[in-house]
Amino acid sequence: MTHERVLEYPTDRHERLHGPLGYADYKSFKPWLRDEFRFRCVYCLWREVWCADGDGSFGIDHVRSRASHPEQGSDYDNLVYACGRCNSIKQDIPLPVDPCEEGWGKHLQTIPDGTVRGITALGRKTIEICRLNRPALVQARRRMRQLLQELDAGGTAESKSLLREYLSFPTNLPVLSQLHPPLEMRVQKGLPRATTNGESAVSCRRPTDHHPPGKNAPQLCLGFMICPLGPVSTAQAFP
């Protein structure tokens, strides 16, 4: 079933898809990070489409805090996408496992009753720091798992349509090809003003960034995205 692995942590390390440069304010990276982490919290795995306020319930977290590593405050590779609750709980506490350096699935296992089990000492410490078994979250996981199972077993067109909505990307996809670091910020950092074709110099690690909503927009955020260049794997972010 396509929904069974939705709340499982990836076992592979996260290979960054993007590498935008030049933003002095780390909050400017949010559109990139939404796409980077497939519109879900890197810590609790909750998705934008499951929240009434969508991406308004999410923000940016520093893996290595600005207090201890101020030089990495606007380093894209030090930023992850997180829901507001997980972000506020973690605060500046160092994580025993960087979610981008090693797949949390090697340390954490989501149980059908909604709890997360630490299968290593590092995993158990991670659960403690991020409070991944806080009662409201455990209940929400259990209910979401049950809902997806019931929709999948429903067999009607209505249930299948609703299941697809719960597993899809949000409708307000960021159009990353239209985003560029502010010119003055790139000049201050000694970066080139523009590429040869006149586009702002933004570093990306994937041939295509994202697609505006429409027939070429990603349809399901489970194993692949549909794009003009063919399926693009997102297995690291969405098993």
Q: What is the pLDDT of residues 137-147, one digit of tens each?
A: 999 999 999 99
Q: Give the total number of structural domains in the chain.
A: 1
Is 5 within a domain? no
* The predicted structure's pLDDT at residue 21: 82
Is 180 within a domain? yes
Do the bridges between strand 232-233 and strand 116-118 make them parallel or antiparallel, or are there none, so unpaired? unpaired
Is 97 within a domain? yes
Residues 43 and 104: beta-carbon distance below 8 Å: no
> Which residues 6+ apart lie within 8 Å of 188 measured at CB?
24
* The predicted structure's pLDDT at residue 128: 97
The vertex-140 CA angle with 135 and 146, nearest 5°, equals: 130
Q: Which of 25, 44, 54 is nearest to 90 (CA)?
A: 44
Helix axes 135-154, 157-167, angle to 10 degrees: 140
Is 3 within a domain? no
Domain that holds residue 49: 26-233
* The predicted structure's pLDDT at residue 5: 85
* The predicted structure's pLDDT at residue 187: 34
Ranges of the chain with pLDDT below 50? 1, 183-239
Is 71 within a domain? yes
Is 219 within a domain? yes
Query: Tokens representing 193?
Result: 């003003």
